[in-house]
């Protein structure tokens, strides 16, 4: 298998080149380095037909058999992770070690999901009756994954959907289609033909998919603005939908922390993957007693750690992934600077046409500043002082988003009490970025609709069916 050429879609167990192509840019250079298929409407129709045709047999396949196939898929992905990692870095920008980490974690995700099973509920219905509720698959799932974690967030959808007995058509982001196309080639024979289909294309393909009458469910990860369009499209046909959307996650740092211990954790929780993480700490509230000391430590890290081409061994952070996002991040910085805010930049970045932005800390900006209110999704961290716990919780909750948050303190009980008052789906105490396949992940407010991961996430790909029958418990 050539991991550096010959990128084709997987439709009905066959590799399909398509009639048109989209360009794929290396964000570290700003230059096109490959092309991927631009799925035509006829190709999409064929993928959906194949998934529909494969559904009855796949649904009838026993749960242990589906679990075994998921584990085998994880083994195949792990076996090819080292070969895929350089391609991941070229299309996504993340340095090689982080690329390999995502690939290996995605392989493990297949294994962990394979250990799950939908629950069966039985209860007495009176008069010699039992009500037995099981969960059955929906049909054909449309999965649309983003560019920031192009493999991991695809597997988040593939593994539970297939385990549940659905068939699937996956569309990765047009900015990062290549690894998933090669993974489709790797997994071509891991499942019966038509069970797993992967198509790629430009901006027109997503709306075609969400409006397609052949899908029973849409699972989408991306921006809140696009998520609203997806929800509207699905509503016209009453498709089921799961949306994992934007976040503007707040972290609260209490004055009792050990600064030397937590500084690097807070820093990486904000800037890993060049801060292109839905659950990264994007607003940092620091108690006034330790504000300067923590700020200086974070600035020191920003100036010591290299931002560069991910193919270079000493690069810790890569570029912003695409030009559109690069321009947006640059605009936020320019407007903050023009408004007179204090911007503290980290190490210099390459000036080579790549989408590099220096790690930047915005020193105590106003709460209503654009750089605080808007999710940057790039290496910008507004850092604000606080003195009163009730006030800072109010500030942290004053967002239309509610995806994740963090509290840092030696007093675990006090931190937990604060966490319970935060209006977010996930809160970490003295940690961050910790997500598990067996633990539900959901957004509050405009950060999401539905659940991913855990048994709750598995059941998003199923529907309950209750049978009343004679008998007793």
Cα separation, 38 vs 201, whole angstroms: 4
Sign of the dihedral defined by the CA atoms of residues 141, 276, 319, 332, in that order: positive
Element (H, E) at 129: strand 129-137
Find the length of the chain: 473
Q: Which helix or strand (DSSP H or E) is residue 71 part of?
A: helix 63-79
Residues 464/456, Cβ–Cβ less than 8 Å: no
- Among the listed residues 91, 244, 452, 460, the single catalytic one is 244
- Taking the CB of residue 272, how many other CB atoms lie within 10 A of it? 17
User: With helix as H, strand as E and coil as C, how does 133-172 read?
Assistant: EEEEECCEEEEECCCCCCCHHHHHHHHHHHHCCCEEEEEC
CA distances from 421 to 402, 407, 411, 427, 462 (A): 12, 11, 16, 10, 32
- Give the three-state DSSP class for 96: helix
Report the candidate in 304, 208, 306, 255 with the shortest Cα–Cα distance to residue 409. Answer: 255
3-class secondary-structure state, position 465: strand
The pairing of beta strand 14-16 with beta strand 21-26: unpaired
244 annotated active-site: yes
278, 375, 452, 460: the active-site residue: 278
Query: For this structure, is 179 an active site residue?
Result: no
Q: Are 226 and 241 in contact (CB under 8 A)?
A: no
User: Rounded to whole angstroms, how far apart are CA atoms 188 and 139?
Assistant: 20
CA distance 243 to 446: 10
Residues marked as catalytic: 244, 278
């Amino acid at each position: 298998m050539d991991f550096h050429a010959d990128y084709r879609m997987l439709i009905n167990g066959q590799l399909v080149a398509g009639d048109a192509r989209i360009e794929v840019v290396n964000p570290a250079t700003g230059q096109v380095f490959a092309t991927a298929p631009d799925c035509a409407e006829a190709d999409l129709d064929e993928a959906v037909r194949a998934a529909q045709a494969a559904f009855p047999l796949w649904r009838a396949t026993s749960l242990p058999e589906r679990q075994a196939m998921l584990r085998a898929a994880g083994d195949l992905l792990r076996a090819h992770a080292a070969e895929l990692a350089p391609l991941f870095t070229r299309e996504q920008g993340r340095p090689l070690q982080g690329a390999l980490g995502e690939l290996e974690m995605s392989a493990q995700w297949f294994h962990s999901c394979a250990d799950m099973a939908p629950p069966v509920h039985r209860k007495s219905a009176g008069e010699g009756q039992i009500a037995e509720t099981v969960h059955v698959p929906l049909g054909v799932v449309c999965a649309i994954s983003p560019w920031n974690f192009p493999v991991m967030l695809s597997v988040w959808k593939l593994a539970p959907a297939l385990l549940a007995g659905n068939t699937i058509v996956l569309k990765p982001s047009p900015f990062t289609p290549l690894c998933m196309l090669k993974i489709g080639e790797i997994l071509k024979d891991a499942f019966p033909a038509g069970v797993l289909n992967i198509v790629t294309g430009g901006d027109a393909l997503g709306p075609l998919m969400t409006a397609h009458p052949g899908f029973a469910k849409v699972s989408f990860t991306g921006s809140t603005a696009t998520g609203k369009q997806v929800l509207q499209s699905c509503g016209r046909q009453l498709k089921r939908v799961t949306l994992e959307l934007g976040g503007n996650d707040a972290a609260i740092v209490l004055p009792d922390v050990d600064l030397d211990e937590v500084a690097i954790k807070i820093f990486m929780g904000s800037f890993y993957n060049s801060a292109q993480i839905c659950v990264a700490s994007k607003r940092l509230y620091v108690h006034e007693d330790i504000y300067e000391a923590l700020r200086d430590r974070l600035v020191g890290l920003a100036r010591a750690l290299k931002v560069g081409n991910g193919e270079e061994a000493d690069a810790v952070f890569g570029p912003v992934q695409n030009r559109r996002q690069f321009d947006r991040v640059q605009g936020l910085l320019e407007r903050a600077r023009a408004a007179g805010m204090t911007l503290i930049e980290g190490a210099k970045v390459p000036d080579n046409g790549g989408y590099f932005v220096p790690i930047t800390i915005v020193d105590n900006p106003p709460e209503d500043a654009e750089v605080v209110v808007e999710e940057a999704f790039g290496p910008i961290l507004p850092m604000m002082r606080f003195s009163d716990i009730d006030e800072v919780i109010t500030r942290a909750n004053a967002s239309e988003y509610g995806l994740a948050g963090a509290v840092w303190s030696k007093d675990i009980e006090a931190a937990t009490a604060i966490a319970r008052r935060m209006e977010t789906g996930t809160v970490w105490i003295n940690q961050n970025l910790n997500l598990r396949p067996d633990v539900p992940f959901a957004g509050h407010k405009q950060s999401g609709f539905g659940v991913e991961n855990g048994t709750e996430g598995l059941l998003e790909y199923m529907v309950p069916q209750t049978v009343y029958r004679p008998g007793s418990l």
